[in-house]
Structure 1
Amino acid sequence: MKYWQALVAFRKNEMADGLECSVLSYTDIQECIDVINHQYDENNMLILALHDLNTAVEGKDLKAMLRALQNPGFKVVECISSTDAVLYFRHLLHGWTQKRKEGTVLWLEDVQSAVKQVSDEIHGARVACELLMKMKTLQDSNQPSRKTSVSAAKMGIHENKHDPKFISALEEWCLKKDTGFLCPWIIHRTRNGSEFYMNLELCTYSWEKPADFLSKSDYLAQKQIENMRVEKWLVELQARCRGYLLRKQVWDRLEFFYQHTDTIIKIQAWWRSVVQRQKYITMITEQRERKYAEAEVYKSMVCLDYYKTQEHKIIKIQAVWRGYKLRRMFLSLFHEPQPTFKVVRSFVHHLDFNADDYRRDLQLQNLRGQVVQTIRHNQQLAQQLDAMDVKIGLLVHNRITLQDVVKHGTNLSELSKQHQLTTSQGEANGNRGIKSLTRVGRKLLDGYQHMFYALQTTPSYLAKLIFCLPLSRSTRFLETVILTLFNFGSNPREEYLLLKLFKTALEEEIRCKFTKPSDAVTGNPLVLRMVVNYSRQMPSQNALRDIVGPLIVKVLEDKTISFETNPVDIFKSWRNQFEMETGNSSNLPYSVTDVEALAYEEIQNKLNSGIRRLQHSTLLFLRRIVESRHLMPYGMLYIAKVLRNTLMDKFSNAPEKEILKVVGNLIYYNYINSAIVAPDAFDIMDLPPDRTLSNNQRRNLASIAKILQFAASKKGFGEESKHLMCLNSFIIECHEIMKTFFRECCNVEELEEHFSMHEFTEATMISRPVLYISLQEICDTHELLLKYQHLIAPDPSDPLHELLKDLGPVPSIGTFLGNGRDAAVPKTEVCLTLVNKFEVPENDHQGINKLFIKAKELLVSIFPCLQGVGTLHEALLVESEAEERLFQQLLHKHQQRNIHNLAASKSCKSLQDCKLILRDYLTKLELAGLVSSVDGYQSIVSAIAKDICSKRRHRELQRKELQELRLTKQNLEKKTKFYEEQINYYNQYIQKCLENLNTGKRNVHIRKSSGKQPEKLKSKLTLHYTAAKLHEKGVLLEVDGLPMTQFRNVQFEITPSDHNGVFIISGKFMGVELEKVEIDIQVS
Structure 2
Amino acid sequence: MQRLWDEEEWLMDLQSRIRGDFTRQIMGYRLEMRNFAVKLQSVARGFLVRRRMDRRDQILEALEPDILELQNMIRANKVRNQVQNLTSQLEVCAGPIRQIQAISRAFLVRKNHTAQYEETKETAATVEKLQAAVRGALLRGKVEQDLQELDAQTHAITDLQAAARALLTRNDIGRQQEQLKAFGPQWTSLQAFARGLRARKETDAVKAELDKHINDIGKLQAFARATAVRRDVTSLLDALQENEPAVIDLQAFIRGALERKRVGADLDALEEQEPQIVDLQSNIRGFLYRKQHQAFLDELASHTPQIVDLQSILRAMMERARVEDIMAELEQEEESIVEFQAAAKAFIVRARFEEKRRFFNENMQKVIKIQSFVRAKVQGEAYKSLTTGKNPPVNAVKNFVHLLNDSDFDFNEEIEFERIRKTVVQQVRQNELLENYIDQLDIKIALLVKNKITLDEVVRHQHNYGGNSMGFLANSSMSSANQFDLKALNKSSRKKLESYQQLFFNLQTQPQYLARLFKRIREQGTAEKECKRIELLMMSLFGYAQKRREEYYLLKLIARSIREEIAGARAVQDFIRGNYFWSKLLSNYTRSPRDRKYLRDLLGPLIRDNIVEDPALDLESDPMQIYRSAINNTELATGRPDQRPLDVPREVAIRDPETRRLFIDHLRDLREICDQVFMALEDLLHKMPYGLRFVCSQIFEGLRQQFKRESPESLLQVVANWLWRFYLQPAVTAPENVGVIEKTLSPLQKRNLSEVAKVISQVASGRPFGGENVYLQPLNAFIADSIERLVQITGDLIAVPDAERTFDIDEFNDLYAKNKPTLYIKMTDVFAIHNLVASELQTMCPNREDVLREIMHDLGSAKNNESEMNAAGSSDIQMFLTPKLHDIDDPEADVKALFMETKRCVLYIIRVQTGTNLLDILIKPISPEDEHKWHMLLRDDFADGSKTRGAYSDSNMIDVTRMSYQELKRTALENVMRLEKLGRISKHNCYQDVLNAIALDIRTKSRRRVQRQRELEGVRMTLSNLHEKAKYLEQQRKSYDDYIEQAMKTLQNKKGKKRFLLPFTKQYNHQRELERSGRVPKFGSYKYSVRQLSEKGVLVSWTGVGERDMGQINLTISCDEVGVFSLEGSRGHIQIPGASALVPIEDLLQAQFESHQFMTLFEGNLKLNVNLLLHLLYKKFYRTQ
TM-score, normalization by structure 1: 0.36
TM-score, normalization by structure 2: 0.33
- Choose 1 or 2 for highest CA Rg: 2
